[in-house]
Amino acid sequence: DPSVWMKQGLLLLSRNTALRDLLEKAPVSRSVVTRFVAGDSTERAVEVVSELVASGRLATIDFLGEDTLDPAQATYTRDAYLTLLSALSDGGLTHGGQVEVSLKLSALGQALGADGEKMALDHAREICQAAANADTTVTLDMEDHTTTDSTLGILRELRQDWPWVGAVLQSYLYRTEQDCRDLAHEGSRVRLCKGTYKEPESVAYQDKAEVDKSFVRCLKVLMAGDGYPMVASHDPRLVEIAGVLAAANGRAPGSYEYQMLLGIRPDEQKRLAAQAERMRVYVPYGDEWYGYLMRRMAERPANLLFFLRSLATR
């Protein structure tokens, strides 16, 4: 199947640093990127989420960056979040968790050798404290499977002080149904998504239909549990099933939420928000957009054509 090969190829390219350096330096690509990325400044991110909030949607903001192997870069990322949170709070956007932040621990130094986990934890603590001061929450994005245990370990540490720190679980991993059971307790915020990294058969379903079935099993556990499920998918079937399961478990709107990415199915986002559902948009910003954008391309070849066309017609 050529589309599978293309997807695998794009996921490999998403970690290609030479191509990343080339494209991120090319100003031409900036305009292409803005459909999926809010821009490169804090001000722009704040503007974009203000518009979302005005349209009845919630947001979670991700300062782009990942796989950091430089302690100074990890500190820079932490500081970007601190600046962002104070700007959001000054703008009156964080109250009650209306706009929160999403973090990639690998951008905070998680992979930096023996001390990496501690560095990421320390940075994440500072960000959580700033979020608490702003009356909002933090969600830890989930990265490739080699980081799952480490990320869930850091989540447990953070939740001792801030029980509202959110987790992300990926239905393509075999382990995830069990992780859902472990995390479906009172006060536990869990974002369920399909998963977006290139994973081996030893740990993850390769077949899309299997990933979807696993998503539904995981949703059943989360919706029946006592936590707060966050359903992160653009898949119309899964969005519908989530609504049915929520109703079957006697959950009122507000006791769970839907989440989608900036620029993807915006009409569906507005439709759900208009039904008094909580609809949160994931808003990435910053100049390290390469890895993020390549994963979006791998998910949908139409996005790739759009990207290539814009490059060709600069």
Residues labelled as active-site residues: 141, 191
Query: Are 104 and 77 spatial neighbours (Cβ–Cβ below 8 Å)?
Result: no
* Shortest Å distance, C-beta 227 to ligand FAD: 17
CB closer to ligand FAD out of 79 and 235: 235
Site residues (vs ligand FAD, CB under 6 A): 141-142, 168, 170, 191, 193-197, 232-236, 259-261, 264-265, 282, 299-300
* Shortest Å distance, C-beta 71 to ligand FAD: 23
Q: What is the 3-state secondary structure (H, E, C) of 77-106?
A: HHHHHHHHHHHHHHCCCCHHHCEEEEECHH
CB closer to ligand FAD out of 86 and 216: 216
CB closer to ligand FAD out of 98 and 170: 170
Query: Are 88 and 71 spatial neighbours (Cβ–Cβ below 8 Å)?
Result: no
* Shortest Å distance, C-beta 189 to ligand FAD: 13
- For 260, other C-beta atoms within 10 Å of its C-beta total 21
The residue type at 296: R
268 sits in which H/E element: helix 266-274
Alpha-carbon distance of 248 to 240, in angstroms, equals 12
- For 158, other C-beta atoms within 10 Å of its C-beta total 20
* Shortest Å distance, C-beta 140 to ligand FAD: 8
* Shortest Å distance, C-beta 25 to ligand FAD: 26
Largest CA distance in the chain: 52
CA neighbours within 13 Å on the CB side: how many for 232?
A: 26
The residue type at 224: A
CB closer to ligand FAD out of 86 and 177: 177
Who's near 182: CB < 8 A, 6+ residues apart? Answer: none
